[in-house]
Amino acid sequence: MNKDIERILVSEDKIEGIITELAEKIDRDYSGSEKKLLLLCILKGSVVFMGELMKKITIPVEIDFMKVSSYGSGTVSSGRLNILLDITRGDMADLDIIVIEDIIDSGRTLSYLVQYLQLKGAHSVRTCTMLDKPSRREVNFDPDYVGCTIPDEFVVGFGLDYDEKYRNLPYIGVLKPEVYNH
Ligand code: IMP
Ligand code: MG
């Protein structure tokens, strides 16, 4: 285990099982749709989750990326959301979008993005998150697909970072507090 990790919260095996189930649900829910299914990855944290999830979806699917910033380099939300990379497509009305997130904390990022994509004219917008910390909500928001609900702890790995590090860990772990308390 990485020396900065206090304990593993979601193991590689558990992650694999969670993603298999999510992909099966998405397959079932969208197999009858006449629209195009688009997985919209929110960079950078969701890139690992998205890559694993899309491999397990068997119905036709397209992918796209957005980048938003709501957080500084630390562990506390700055409360601001900027769109750094936008989705630019002419076929919004033909899209069933699933926004793919690594983790939901305050809920601000996804509640904003869902409204934004609806205003842009998407046929439908749902959300899928690997991790959810419901006890941290600052706005009323419920994701459609959730991998795993976790307590209020700062986690890294499987795409999630602290100061751009630890994204490459294959499991989700709790960071030792001394790593960010100095
Ligand atoms: P929200 O708008 O507060 O829901 O912010 C969600 C975003 O905060 C995620 O996409 C992450 O980038 C970041 N975040 C929240 N909690 C954690 C955590 O425990 N570890 C790493 N990033 C986190
Ligand atoms: Mg992040």
Q: Is the CA virtual torsion 100, 106, 112, 114 positive or negative?
A: positive
Q: Within 10 A of 74 (CB to CB), how many other CB atoms are there?
A: 11
Question: Among 13-27, 76-90, 167-181, which range has the highest average pLDDT?
Answer: 13-27
Give pLDDT, residue 76: 52
> Is 166 within the bounds of a domain?
no
The pTM (predicted TM-score) of the whole model is 0.93
Q: pLDDT, tens digit, for every residue of 134-154?
A: 999 999 999 999 999 999 999
Looking at the CA of residue 104, tell me the nearest atom of ligand 1.
4
Residue 167 belongs to a domain: no
Q: Is the pLDDT of residue 79 over 70?
A: no
> How far is ligand 1, taken at its centre, from the CA of residue 108, in Å?
10
Structural domain of residue 85, as residue ranges?
12-150
DSSP letter at 176 equals P
Specify the number of domains making up the chain: 1
**Which atom of ligand 1 has the smallest separation from the CA of 108?**
2
Ligand with smallest separation from the Cα of 132:
1
For residue 127, which phi and psi values (nearest 5 degrees)? Answer: -130, 145
**Residue 178 within any structural domain of the chain:** no
* 64 part of the active site: no
Report the pocket of ligand 1 as residue ranges, CB < 6 Å: 45, 70-71, 77, 101-109, 154-156, 160
Q: Is the dihedral of CA 113, 114, 119, 123 positive or negative?
A: positive
Report the CATH number at residue 93. 3.40.50.2020
Report the pLDDT value the prediction gives residue 80, as an integer from 0 to 100: 58
Average pLDDT over residues 126-136: 97
Reply yes or no on whether the pLDDT at 133 is more than 70: yes
- Tell whether 115 is covered by a domain: yes
Residue 95, pLDDT > 70, answer: yes
